[in-house]
């Protein structure tokens, strides 16, 4: 699967005329593949608030599914660590809001976020020794305004 992802992404980048110095694929979880694009034009590839990289990720997923990749496979496309930094920021926000929910014993709703980041929040708070017995999380709302609600136990 990693080879298929790498070859498909490299073809896509070539077709789009985007220069890059390397593509690395790492399987992080059962069906989650983390793809790192190394480039000297990271801002061009990331785009405004990550819109370009999100579009490339979507195109890559569509191309992979057409080539027989499993529908439950998650492909995360990152450029020079942009998504990792975003992920860390979202997790820190969730921790701060969980602490606030525990202190005030009131529900807290995070800002809307995409399914990947919502899943990270749910997983992080559910597995964190500090929060797993203190809060529960649930998604609320409709896309694109779907958000995570943190509920104190």
C-alpha span between 72 and 23 (Å, rounded):
22
C-alpha span between 107 and 91 (Å, rounded):
17
Which pLDDT score is estimated for 30?
81
What CATH number is given for 85-152 in this structure?
Answer: 3.30.1370.50
Q: One digit per residue, pLDDT tens: the chain, 153 residues?
A: 889 999 999 999 999 898 999 999 999 878 889 999 999 889 989 999 889 999 999 999 999 999 887 778 889 999 989 999 999 999 999 999 999 999 999 999 999 998 889 999 999 999 999 999 999 999 999 988 999 999 999
Which pLDDT score is estimated for 70?
79
Domain boundaries of the chain, sorted by first residue: 2-80, 85-152
Q: Is 76 within 8 Å of 36 (Cβ atoms)?
A: no
- Residue 148 CA, distance from chain mean position: 14
Which pLDDT score is estimated for 111?
96
The topology (CATH level 3) of 2-80 is GMP Synthetase; Chain A, domain 3 (3.30.300)
Note the pTM of the prediction, 2 decimals: 0.80
Using CA of residue 38, residue 43, residue 45, residue 48, what is the dihedral sign? positive
């Amino acid at each position: 699967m990693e080879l298929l992802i790498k070859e498909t992404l490299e073809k896509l980048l070539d077709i789009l005329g985007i220069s890059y110095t390397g593509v690395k694929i790492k399987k992080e979880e059962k069906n989650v593949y983390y793809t790192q694009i190394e480039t000297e034009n990271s801002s061009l590839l990331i785009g405004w608030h990550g819109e370009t990289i999100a579009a490339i990720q979507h195109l890559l997923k569509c191309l992979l599914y057409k080539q027989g990749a499993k529908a439950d496979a998650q492909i995360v496309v990152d450029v020079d660590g942009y998504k990792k930094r975003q992920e860390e920021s979202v997790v820190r926000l969730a921790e701060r809001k969980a602490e606030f929910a525990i202190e005030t014993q009131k529900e807290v709703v995070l800002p809307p976020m995409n399914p990947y980041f919502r899943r990270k929040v749910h997983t992080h708070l559910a597995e964190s020794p500090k929060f797993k017995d203190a809060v529960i999380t649930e998604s609320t709302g409709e896309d694109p305004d779907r958000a995570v609600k943190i509920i104190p136990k």
